[in-house]
Chain A
Amino acid sequence: MGDVILTMKGIDKSFPGVRALDKVDLEVRKGEVLALMGENGAGKSTLMKVLTGIYTKDAGTITYEGREVTYHNPREAQADGIVIVHQELNMMGHLTVAQNIFIGREFKKGPFIDDAKMNEEARKLFRQLNIDIDPKATMSDLTVGMQQMCEIAKAISHKAKVIIFDEPSAALTEAEINRLFEIIRELRKQQMGIIYISHRMDEIKRITDRVSVMRDGAYVGTLITDECTKDDIINMMVGRVIYEDPKTESQVAPDAPVVLKVEHLNAGRMVQDVSFELKKGEILGFAGLMGAGRTETLRAVFGADPKESGDIYLNGSKINIKNPQDAVKAGIGYLSEDRKRYGVVLQKSITENATLACLEEYVKGIFIDNKKERKVAKRYVEALKTKTPGVDQLVMNLSGGNQQKIVVTKWLVNNCDILIFDEPTRGIDVGAKQEIYELMNRLVKDEGKSIIMISSEMTEILRMSDRVIVMCEGRKTGELDIAEVTQEKIMNLATMRD
């Protein structure tokens, strides 16, 4: 670890009604990977936005390479060597890799763009990073992992000295993450200062040198990664100990009836001959790596995407689900991993979202029975402990965890017996995660619901599932009772390719 390259001191930032950052300090050294951790809403993103000039700070100083700086937009920060690799990739799919990297500052030969030079420069960058990507390849043909490498190459090409990674691994496969880490280690060797934002504890332990923790807009402290435990970090993040106990045996009676049976389901490349059964009161985990076809399988079951063949039986009788309408009528609810896009209507109120799936039951004559729907919304807000000032609150003003509860509310109001949770706690902070888990357990135990849970988090699978189905590249590769599950077994099945 080298000298300090970047110091943020006493950074304040307020938005109307919220103090987003409260005297935050942060220090980055040359040749280190600094993890920036905290629950959602802790202020990590805001701090990085202040650093890169997207927000203007109210108070505090930023010292970079020994001089005080203030950036007014990301371009200025970039020109100075502070770049951010975003979680969502900002790439133009129809352009080539090189064109993407040099977008906005193309090399020119007279009035024309000099593609040959751009390809050459891109190749040099990739060589520097030890990456094997053809600069002439079309961006949309690359995997998400490779696209991210390009994003990193683009960052380097700005002569970066400080690189911020904002949850870079969220969309990557295990192999791609390993590759990413090799690159980050390479960057560290080249004496860059790296800020690594992630929720994945195992990654923090693997790749970072120090961990700075934020909570509720304030700086909590910094630990040396090698000298602390996962619990130390989590304690700092939430101020309480969280135990992630795995389930040791199935909570489902052996003679519990099968509520949903799927046989030989086919839907494109990602769903090939998938069969499974869901028992009453069960939490059935779907494990696998990104792109294993789990979401595609359950979307096909739900009728969100068309299927080619396969039979679905509900409580023993065959049903034909052509679209989500049929599925909802049959009492199946789907909770997408992307709540904002597929789960809630952000600009509408809690009440309006709560009754969206069964509004016809809340109609008196031709009018919507506002009293009745508010009443049911209120009941579930209380039952699910949703944090909101009232049921007229717009869903966009709620946190991720509470938005997830609104989606659950929607399906409970519709009295769905089968709930498909796709990454139930993605983007939800640690404290709220706990509540979602408790809620899921309550749903199967007390309400007699049955749950299918897709999850990419091993701890979540181990902790919640009664039975685990593992998929790899569109096929079901295994089925395990929770009593016999180990991480190694799941990983083994998840990488079992033909």
Chain B
Amino acid sequence: MEKIKNNRVVRAIGFNRIVLIGVIILLYIMFSVLTPLLHAGTTFVSYERIMSALNYAYFIGFMALGVTFVIATGGIDFSIGPVMFASAVISGYCLTKYNIPLPLCIVISLLIGLAFGILNGYFVAYRFLPSFITSMASMQIAKGIGSVFTKTQTVTWPGTGNDNSWYRYLVKWNNIPTGFIILCLVAVICAIVLHKTRAGRYMLCIGSNKEAVRLSGVNTKKWEMLAYMICGLLAGIAAIFYVGAYTTVQPGLGDTFNNEAIAACVMGGTSMAGGLASILGAIIGAIIVALMQEGILAMGFTISYQYVLTGLIVLVAVTADIMSRKRKN
């Protein structure tokens, strides 16, 4: 066991990430076996199922990437789901009702995400509010603002074949999962930022010991705020991939997705205590979350089971994190 753990490749990827990849395979086998048994006449093993699961993995993945930065600093952001929905709803409304050009609408979506990131970051870093409270408040704002903007109408982005529908190619183009490629590219950028730049170094150090970093003459406020801004921006990006997959968004929703994104992070080895974060883990976590929801639906259960499972996963993952820390001490 120790030998495997000390292998160079294993260490680079991280032992628990390898375990998680095993979990993905196991889940896939399990759903493939159980689906025809529980839901006669159906199958889990199909291209459509994989694409469908990936659709879910994209927006969860982008949000998980973003919140990884915030959790790395020792904070939390519960607003990302509603922020994603607010971005999608408002930019979609701009597109369909005001006929604003599509590229501009995409930019609007990103800016709305970024704006919420700035809001959260300002109050956490510069006004010393607990991130928990700050993001709760901005979650409410995000939920409300989408509804206010659209007068509580559902917004449907243009479907494939219509004008202004090229944004869907970001998700899938000629049966190629372009969304997955983009997610991986963004993940690589995130990993570089987190592990190879000053910003990432400072964020992780702030998560471990903020006061020591401040007393080292580092402008901790600035870097902490940046983490929330990245998180917000990625929620704005997630919005595009959400509508790219599903086209329809309702204002006032989205809070269940926070927990799934956070669950993906924590599962992947990002510590809720801060200072320790894994980008690869967040992506693998997002895939597990997506696979589970696909499997649950395929087996004929309602999505409510997914909520129960997500809750349990968070409990297990955080407990495991705390236990491993205790052992180290």
Which residues does A use to contact B, with CB under 8 Å? 302, 304, 324-325, 327-329, 334, 336, 341-348, 352, 356-357, 359-360, 363, 366-368, 410, 414
Contact = CB atoms under 8 A, between A and B. Distances in A.
Contacts of A366: 197
B209 A345 contact: yes
Contacts of A334: 215
Contacts of B49: none
Interface string B198-226: 10011011001101111111110000000
A324 B215 CA distance: 6
Contact of B204 (A324, A329, A348, A357): A348
A345 B213 contact: yes
Nearest to A330: B217
B259 to A, nearest CB: 26
Contacts of A410: 216
Central interface residue in A343, A348, A366, by most chain B CB within 10 Å: A348
Nearest to B219: A325
Interface string B218-239: 1100000000000000000000
B197 A356 contact: no
B198 A324 contact: no
A58 B314 CA distance: 36
Interface residues of B, number: 21
A23 B257 CA distance: 56
B205 A352 contact: yes
Central interface residue in B201, B215, B218, B219, by most chain A CB within 10 Å: B215
Chain B's interface: helix, strand, loop or mixed, by majority?
helix
A341 B208 CA distance: 10
B198 A368 contact: yes
Contacts of B218: 325, 356-357, 359
Contacts of B216: 324, 328, 356-357, 410
Contact of B215 (A304, A360, A368, A414): A304
A366 B209 CA distance: 24
Contacts of A327: 217
Given A363-B198, A368-B198, A368-B201, A346 B217 contact: no
Nearest to A360: B198
12 contacts: A325-B218, A341-B209, A341-B212, A343-B215, A345-B205, A345-B275, A346-B209, A348-B205, A356-B212, A367-B196, A368-B198, A368-B201
Contacts of A368: 196-198, 201
A345 B212 CA distance: 7
A344 B209 CA distance: 8
Contacts of B209: 341, 344-347
Contacts of B219: 325
A113 B320 CA distance: 38
A324 B202 contact: no
Given A329-B217, A342-B211, A352 B201 contact: yes
A347 B212 contact: no
Contact of B217 (A324, A344, A347): A324
B183 interface: no
B204 to A, nearest CB: 7
Nearest to B199: A366
B329 to A, nearest CB: 8
Given A346-B208, A359-B202, A368-B201, 15 more contacts: A302-B215, A304-B214, A324-B217, A325-B219, A341-B211, A342-B215, A343-B212, A348-B275, A352-B201, A356-B212, A366-B197, A367-B192, A368-B196, A368-B197, A368-B198
